[in-house]
A and B are shown apart, each in its own frame.
Chain A
Amino acid sequence: MVLEPRTEGGSEHRDRKVWLESCAKHYGSVVALAEVELAVEDGEFLTLLGPSGSGKTTLLNLIAGMVQPTSGRIWIDGADITRVPPSKRGIGMVFQNYALMPHMTVFENIAFPLRVRKMAEAEIRRKVGEVLDIVRLPDVGKRKPSELSGGQQQRIAIARCIVYNPSIILMDEPLGALDKKLREELQLELKQLHTQLGITVLYVTHDQEEALTMSDRIVLLNHGKIEQMGPPDELYFQPRTLFAAEFLGDSNIFDGTVAGLGEFVSVYSEPGASMMARPAPIAEIGKAVKVLVRPENLTLLRQCEESGLANRLSAEMVDSIILGGVIKCYVRLSDDTTVVVQELTKAERAPPPPGSKVSVAWSAEDTLILPAVGGMTEGGGTAAA
């Protein structure tokens, strides 16, 4: 690649909160982050989502200045900060293990960034009191971090971060060490805090549900590359790759070959049926593709029932599980693939018994075609494809 001079494309990104300009990070022969281009908007809640080892922490540490990029530049508020030390970047960070100073009281912990900034003692007292109120722990100032619960410690870590108004707050799996209930509670609080204070948040998680509930935008990483980015609903409803489809939400995936183009794409599929799918740029006649349908878009039909839906496959009932409000039914197609159907639980409509003949049906709008390569299970490693 040729080093380009500053282009118009660049100046356009200068007014972004953060801009990673073709940043890459290699550790010897390991590509932790392939060349990545990423712009973060002011006030945005952006989530980096991806499996373990996909480069989420690396990306965050690049912005924090804890690691230097192998190539590329990093801009914050229009200034090139690639060579600026972490202490001069004005960034806040919340760590998974809280990283509270064990030898300081909670008060001293929160006062630390203010003392570094040589703020007057009275001002420090006022500010620390303020943020302790915001995180709803007004009375713990005199305690040591070890005398607090995990959730409380993380609240203090957040307080320590917001107390000095950093321009961006980075969070690396901040709720990863907490149990499910506390995690959900803090997710809500964090989201509220974000709206209330209007801060820019870069959030790392490998929990897709957390990403879907909290983010304005999700960046899906895989093997150090950005697989797809966009608002949560776009990632969920319009995944562009097999990996994205499998990583976010449950999915049923069939192999197929494009058979016809038109208002809808028709795909000839393995289970011996033709399916109608939403049009997509990748569709070319004769091309091998994958067909995706979300379980909640499938309808389970008794043998003779009519539905008026474009796609229909006959199957045999295997099992069903009630998960409170929804029920998951597993059915087997003629070629032995298992399909999951998720329906709302209704008292008057019990699932058919195992072994009975059923059909699954769904609409063409809910059917996506995806490139046949690049799933979660195949093509591991960062080898240049």
Chain B
Amino acid sequence: MAQNVRESSVGGRPGAPLAAAVSAWVIYLFLIMPSLVVIPMSFGDKDEFMFPPESLSFYLYGQYFFESTWMATTLQSFEVAILTTFLSLLFGVTAAYGVVRGNFPGKRFVTLFLLSPILVPVIVVALGLYLYFSTLGLSGTTFGLVLGHTVHATPFVIVIAMAGLRHVDPNLEAAARLMGASHVLTLRKVTLPLLKPTLIAGSLFAFLISFDEVVIAYFVSNTTTETLPVKMYSAIQWEISPVLAAISTLLIVLSLVICVSGTALQKDDEKGE
């Protein structure tokens, strides 16, 4: 009986959970609104920001695709992001393999060291790279930009790859080795195929990190090598072109497509097992 009384007093305000849910949604919408507001704006037909737009058109998209240097910058961003993805996957997966499978003194310290770029503020990394690359003559080059982004993205790939490798039974690799397969063959036929979902997730992540990155790119690139986010940032400062709304909308779509396809691929793989 006593228990009953206590229970009812706890659940005594039936409105409480509802209020919590509503306020959570309100806050969420408040936070996401600025991102979504660019979508209607991107369909405006004037060369200035307008909300709500007077009439709907693809005028701004046309501007973006055909009548500006935006397209060239976008291609540059893709190039940097794809190269960064390759490099950070190469470094990240091999490093993760070393620390997960290896057994050497100071392993924890090495792991911490490999992940340390996550702990350093991006602005510090960017400044360091700027000073360092100037002395090497890499400042302003696409290669320098790719290296900078690789430094930034690799620790995240390492974290993902370490988690993935922990799910690959080391006995499978041992079995392959005992059956006569060399290290390389074992990696090619056993470890990497089993790591496929991890590799997909890692590359999508690395791609998005690079494509989205503005601080390092701002420091390391110049006007001929600048990436999309850097150009957008400059555009905001100098001209405030409404084309930005169209670009932002496209970026939202791109992120969405990558996330959804990543999730879908992972689901497929789970089913396949």
* Interface residue ranges, A against B (CB under 8 Å): 64-66, 85-93, 95, 97, 99, 101-103, 112-113, 116-117, 146, 160, 164
With A99-B172, A102-B273 as contacts: A160 and B190 at CB distance below 8 Å: no
Number of chain B residues close to chain A: CB under 8 A? 18
**Digit string of B159-196 for contact with A (CB within 8 Å is 1, else 0)?**
00000000001011011111111100100011001100
Give chain B nearest CB distance to A333 CB in angstroms.
50
Which of these, A89, A99, A103, A117, contacts B193 with CB under 8 Å? A103
Give chain B nearest CB distance to A204 CB in angstroms.
14
Chain B residue contacts of A102, Cβ below 8 A: 194, 273
Chain B residue contacts of A92, Cβ below 8 A: 178-179
Docked Cα-Cα span, A48 to B59, in Å, equals 79
Which of these, A86, A90, A146, contacts B177 with CB under 8 Å? A86
The 3 closest A-B pairs by CB, nearest first: A113-B179, A99-B175, A99-B171
With A102-B194, A102-B273, A112-B189 as contacts: A85 and B171 at CB distance below 8 Å: no
Docked Cα-Cα span, A93 to B180, in Å, equals 12
Across the two chains, which residue of chain B brings its CB closest to A96? B171
Chain B residue contacts of A86, Cβ below 8 A: 174, 177-178
**Is A146 a contact partner of B171 (Cβ separation < 8 A)?**
no
Give chain A nearest CB distance to B207 CB in angstroms.
25
User: Known pairs A112-B176, A164-B180. 7 more at Cβ < 8 A?
Assistant: A87-B177, A99-B174, A101-B190, A102-B194, A113-B180, A116-B179, A160-B179
Docked Cα-Cα span, A97 to B182, in Å, equals 22
Docked Cα-Cα span, A86 to B185, in Å, equals 13
Give chain A nearest CB distance to B265 CB in angstroms.
15
Which of these, A65, A88, A93, contacts B175 with CB under 8 Å? A93
Docked Cα-Cα span, A112 to B186, in Å, equals 11
Docked Cα-Cα span, A85 to B171, in Å, equals 16
**Is A87 a contact partner of B190 (Cβ separation < 8 A)?**
no
Chain B residue contacts of A88, Cβ below 8 A: 180
Which of these, B178, B190, B193, contacts A93 with CB under 8 Å? B178
Chain B residue contacts of A85, Cβ below 8 A: 177
**Is B178 a contact partner of A64 (Cβ separation < 8 A)?**
yes
With A97-B171, A99-B171, A102-B194 as contacts: A87 and B273 at CB distance below 8 Å: no
**Is A99 a contact partner of B169 (Cβ separation < 8 A)?**
yes
**Is A89 a contact partner of B190 (Cβ separation < 8 A)?**
no
Chain B residue contacts of A97, Cβ below 8 A: 169, 171
Most buried by B among A85, A103, A146, A164: A103
Across the two chains, which residue of chain A brings its CB closest to B168? A102
Across the two chains, which residue of chain A brings its CB closest to B193? A103
Chain A residue contacts of B185, Cβ below 8 A: 116
Chain B residue contacts of A66, Cβ below 8 A: 174
With A101-B190, A102-B273 as contacts: A95 and B181 at CB distance below 8 Å: no
* Interface residue ranges, B against A (CB under 8 Å): 169, 171-172, 174-182, 185, 189-190, 193-194, 273
**Is A89 a contact partner of B176 (Cβ separation < 8 A)?**
no
Docked Cα-Cα span, A91 to B178, in Å, equals 6
Which of these, B169, B179, B193, contacts A164 with CB under 8 Å? B179
Give chain B nearest CB distance to A114 CB in angstroms.
9
**Is B179 a contact partner of A112 (Cβ separation < 8 A)?**
yes
**Is A87 a contact partner of B181 (Cβ separation < 8 A)?**
yes
Chain B residue contacts of A89, Cβ below 8 A: 178
Docked Cα-Cα span, A95 to B173, in Å, equals 12
Docked Cα-Cα span, A2 to B36, in Å, equals 79
Most buried by A among B171, B172, B177, B179: B179
Q: List 16 A–B pairs whose Cβ atoms lie within 8 Å, in order of A's numbering.
A: A64-B174, A64-B178, A85-B177, A87-B177, A87-B182, A93-B175, A95-B171, A97-B169, A99-B171, A99-B172, A99-B175, A112-B176, A116-B180, A116-B185, A146-B273, A164-B179
Docked Cα-Cα span, A157 to B172, in Å, equals 12
**Is A103 a contact partner of B175 (Cβ separation < 8 A)?**
no
Chain A residue contacts of B178, Cβ below 8 A: 64-65, 86-87, 89, 91-93
Chain B residue contacts of A87, Cβ below 8 A: 177-182
Chain B residue contacts of A99, Cβ below 8 A: 169, 171-172, 174-175
Give chain B nearest CB distance to A310 CB in angstroms.
53
Docked Cα-Cα span, A103 to B169, in Å, equals 13
Chain A residue contacts of B180, Cβ below 8 A: 87-88, 90, 113, 116-117, 164
Chain A residue contacts of B172, Cβ below 8 A: 99, 101
Docked Cα-Cα span, A93 to B170, in Å, equals 14
Chain A residue contacts of B176, Cβ below 8 A: 101, 112
Docked Cα-Cα span, A298 to B166, in Å, equals 54
Across the two chains, which residue of chain B brings its CB closest to A164? B179
Most buried by A among B176, B182, B193: B176
Across the two chains, which residue of chain A brings its CB closest to B189? A112
Give chain A nearest CB distance to B192 CB in angstroms.
10
Give chain B nearest CB distance to A146 CB in angstroms.
6
Docked Cα-Cα span, A88 to B169, in Å, equals 22
Docked Cα-Cα span, A116 to B189, in Å, equals 10
Chain A residue contacts of B182, Cβ below 8 A: 87
Docked Cα-Cα span, A262 to B171, in Å, equals 56
Chain B residue contacts of A90, Cβ below 8 A: 180
Docked Cα-Cα span, A332 to B103, in Å, equals 54
Chain A residue contacts of B171, Cβ below 8 A: 95, 97, 99
Across the two chains, which residue of chain A brings its CB closest to B182? A87
Docked Cα-Cα span, A99 to B185, in Å, equals 17
With A97-B171, A101-B172 as contacts: A116 and B177 at CB distance below 8 Å: no
Docked Cα-Cα span, A93 to B176, in Å, equals 10
**Is B181 a contact partner of A116 (Cβ separation < 8 A)?**
yes
Give chain A nearest CB distance to B113 CB in angstroms.
23
Docked Cα-Cα span, A95 to B180, in Å, equals 16
Chain A residue contacts of B194, Cβ below 8 A: 101-103
Docked Cα-Cα span, A91 to B174, in Å, equals 11
Most buried by B among A64, A97, A116, A146: A116
Across the two chains, which residue of chain B brings its CB closest to A116? B180
Chain B residue contacts of A64, Cβ below 8 A: 174, 178
Chain A residue contacts of B273, Cβ below 8 A: 102, 146
